[in-house]
């Protein structure tokens, strides 16, 4: 029995070293997920606010997941150093839950990506029809038009059906040059055509969102497949070896 323990001790030591390294890397990925979530919220926040009906919670999910991973990454290091089988099993269970959550989130995002685009088209159209320059959605519309140098949905002519147009004309956020834009010009569609951006916002916004959400999905899937499975395997193997050989960290 003693000789068997001496033979398996190097294996356990090796597994513990690998799991500590893994837990540290796992902790780093938690920091990355947290950073990506914050970046996604700050970058996509304006566009998400225009999808109020079924707005994506992806940035918040990543922020929450990243924070949780940071905590459990530290827990994984502690459990490994202590050599506690039940802690290691709990760590493996958590990794499996994170893996499943990321997998479900990624599949759902892929399956419902077209619904998000349709919802955006509908809510953006409503935002233009209810535009008043003062509420949150109106500010979001202005931010989109200014940051992407676009106007309206498919083109600037979409504003001609908005109640706001009949009183104030096309919003100044559509202007190519704000210093060469006045209310009188913006009330006249013919004159406004030479003053405002010609491209509509819908194609630009959906393309921008797909590109950035692709980055978020890529990070999530990369972490799910390359790390969680490895971590679960290491934690389960170490727990089994420690239990079988009654190994305790001194």
CA distance 53 to 59: 17
Q: What is the pLDDT along the chain (250 residues), one digit of tens a residue?
A: 444 455 567 777 888 888 888 888 888 878 887 887 787 777 666 666 665 444 456 667 778 878 888 888 888 888 888 888 888 888 888 888 877 877 776 676 666 666 777 778 888 888 899 998 888 788 888 888 888 899 999 999 999 999 999 888 999 999 998 888 888 888 888 888 888 998 998 888 788 767 766 666 676 667 666 777 888 888 888 888 878 765 444 4
- 133 sits in the region (left: phi over 0; alpha: psi -120 to 50; else beta) called left
For the stretch 99-129, pLDDT in tens is 787 777 667 666 666 677 777 888 888 889 9
- Please enumerate in sequence order all residues whose Cβ is within 8 A of that of 235, keeping only pairs 6 or more positions apart, or say none: 19, 76, 79, 88, 89, 91, 92, 95
CA distance 204 to 28: 34
* Phi, psi (degrees; rounded to nearest 5) at 103: -65, -45
Distances (CA, A) of 26 to 86, 125, 218: 20, 43, 16
pTM over the 0.75 mark? no
For the stretch 131-171, pLDDT in tens is 988 887 888 888 888 888 999 999 999 999 999 998 889 99
* Phi, psi (degrees; rounded to nearest 5) at 5: -65, -40
């Amino acid at each position: 029995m003693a000789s068997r323990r001496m033979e398996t001790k190097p294996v356990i030591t090796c597994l513990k070293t690998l799991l500590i390294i893994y837990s540290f890397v796992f902790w780093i990925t938690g920091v990355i997920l947290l950073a990506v979530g914050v970046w996604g919220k700050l970058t996509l926040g304006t566009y998400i606010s225009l999808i109020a009906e079924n707005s994506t919670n992806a940035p918040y999910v990543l922020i929450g997941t990243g924070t949780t991973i940071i905590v459990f990454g530290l827990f994984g290091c502690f459990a490994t150093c202590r050599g506690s089988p039940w802690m290691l099993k709990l760590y493996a269970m958590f990794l499996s839950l994170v893996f499943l959550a990321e997998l479900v989130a990624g599949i759902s995002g892929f399956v419902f990506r077209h619904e998000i685009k349709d919802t955006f088209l509908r809510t953006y159209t409503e935002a233009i029809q209810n535009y008043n320059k003062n509420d949150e959605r109106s500010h979001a519309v202005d931010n989109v038009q200014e940051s992407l140098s676009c106007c309206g949905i498919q083109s600037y002519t979409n504003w001609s059906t908005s109640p706001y147009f009949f009183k104030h004309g096309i919003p100044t956020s559509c202007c190519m040059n704000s210093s060469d834009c006045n209310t009188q010009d913006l009330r006249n569609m013919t004159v406004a055509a030479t003053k405002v951006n010609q491209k509509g916002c819908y194609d630009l916004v959906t393309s921008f969102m797909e590109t950035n959400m692709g980055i978020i999905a890529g990070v999530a899937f990369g972490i799910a497949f390359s790390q969680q499975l490895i971590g679960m395997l290491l934690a389960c193997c170490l727990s089994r070896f420690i239990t079988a050989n009654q190994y305790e960290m001194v």
